[in-house]
Amino acid sequence: MAKYKVLSTKKLEPSLLEQAREKDIDISEQEFISVKPILSKEKLDEVMPWIMSEDIHYVALTSASAVEALKNYLKQGATWYVPNWNIFSLSGKTKDALQPFFNKERVFAIAKNAKMLAEEISKHKVKEVVFFCGNKRRNELPAILRNAGIAVHEVVVYETVETPVAATDTIDAILFFSPSAVQSFFSVNQLKQDSICFAIGQTTADSIADYCENKIIISEFPSQETLLASVNFYFQNKACYE
Higher pLDDT, 41 or 203: 41
- Partners of 174 in the beta sheet? 7, 197
Report pLDDT for 72: 92
For residue 114, give the H/E element and its range.
Answer: helix 114-123
Whole-structure pTM value: 0.84
The arithmetic mean of pLDDT across residues 57-79, rounded, is 91
Out of 34-43, 59-68, 221-230, 231-240, which region has the weakest mean confidence (pLDDT)? 231-240
More confident residue, 117 or 167: 117
Task: Calculate mean pLDDT across residues 170-189.
Answer: 95
Same domain, 156 and 167: no
Q: Do residues 236 and 198 touch, judged by C-beta distance below 8 A?
A: no
CB atoms closer than 10 angstroms to residue 81: 12
Query: What's the average model confidence in pLDDT over 72-95?
Result: 89
Q: What is the pLDDT of residue 239?
A: 65
One-letter amino acid at 46 equals E
Is-contact 223 92, C-beta < 8 A? Answer: yes
Q: What is the mean pLDDT of the chain?
A: 92
Query: Do 154 and 204 sit in the same domain of this protein?
Result: no
In the Cβ-directed half-sphere of 116, how many Cα atoms lie within 13 Å? 11
Q: Are residues 18 and 50 in the same domain?
A: no
What's the DSSP call for residue 238?
A: G
pLDDT of residue 240: 72
Domain that holds residue 92: 36-160
Assess whether 42 and 145 both reside in one domain.
yes
Q: Which residue has the higher pLDDT, 239 or 116?
A: 116
| pLDDT at res. 242 | 67
What is d(CA 153, CA 132) in angstroms, rounded to the nearest whole number?
8
The residue among 140, 160, 180 that closes a domain is 160
Percent of the chain with pLDDT over 90: 76
How far is the C-alpha of 94 from the C-alpha of 67, rounded, in Å? 7
CB atoms < 10 A from the CB of 56, how many? 9
**Same domain as 106, residue 54:** yes
In this structure, the answer to whether residues 125 and 187 fall within a common structural domain is no
224 and 141 part of one domain: no
* Domains: count for the chain: 2
pLDDT value for 180: 92
Residues 66 and 130 in one domain: yes
Segment (H or E) for 104: none
Quick one: what percent of the chain has pLDDT higher than 70?
98
Instruction: Please report the pLDDT score of residue 201 as a whole number.
Output: 87
User: Are 102 and 87 spatial neighbours (Cβ–Cβ below 8 Å)?
Assistant: yes
Mean pLDDT over residues 146-156, rounded?
96
Domain check: are 102 and 62 in the same one? yes
Residues 74 and 25 occupy one common structural domain = no
User: Strands (DSSP E) along 62-150, which ranges?
Assistant: 75-76, 79-80, 85-90, 107-111, 128-134
Single out the residue in 104, 136, 160 at which a domain terminates.
160
Q: Is the pLDDT score of 37 beyond 80? A: yes
pLDDT value at 25 more than 90 = yes
Residue 222 CA to residue 58 CA, distance in Å, equals: 23
Residue 131 phi/psi, 5-degree rounding, is -110, 100
Distance CA 158, CA 69 (A): 6
Output DSSP code: residue 82. Answer: -
Among 135, 160, 185, give the residue marking a domain's end: 160
Positive or negative, the CA dihedral 186, 191, 194, 197 is: negative
Measured distance CA(112)–CA(77) in Å, rounded: 35
Spatial strand order of the sheet with 173-176 comes to: 25-29, 4-8, 173-176, 196-199, 216-218
Per-residue pLDDT band at 238 (split at 50, 70, 90): confident
| pLDDT score for 221 | 86
Q: Is 57 exposed, middle or buried (0-12, 13-18, 19+ CB in 10 A)?
A: middle
CATH of the domain at 10: 3.40.50.10090
Are residue 152 and residue 41 in the same domain, yes or no? yes
